[in-house]
Amino acid sequence: MNIGFMDRRIELQTNTGTLDGYGATTSSWTTSTTVWAAMDITGSNATIELEQETTKYLVTWRVRSSTTTRTVTPKWRVKYGKDIYEIKAVREKGRNDELHLITERIVAE
Q: Environment class of residue 62 by beta-carbon count within 10 Å: exposed (0-12), middle (13-18) or buried (19+)?
A: buried
Domain boundaries, the chain: 3-108
* pLDDT (tens place) for every residue of the chain, 109 residues total: 666 788 999 999 999 877 777 878 888 899 999 999 999 988 888 878 777 788 889 999 999 999 999 999 999 999 999 999 999 999 998 887 899 999 999 776 6
Report domain 3-108's class: mainly beta
The reported pLDDT for the residue numbered 98 is 92
Give me the DSSP letters along 42-79: EEEEEEEETTEEEEEEEEEEEEE--TTGGG--TTSEEE
Q: What pLDDT is recorded for position 44? A: 81
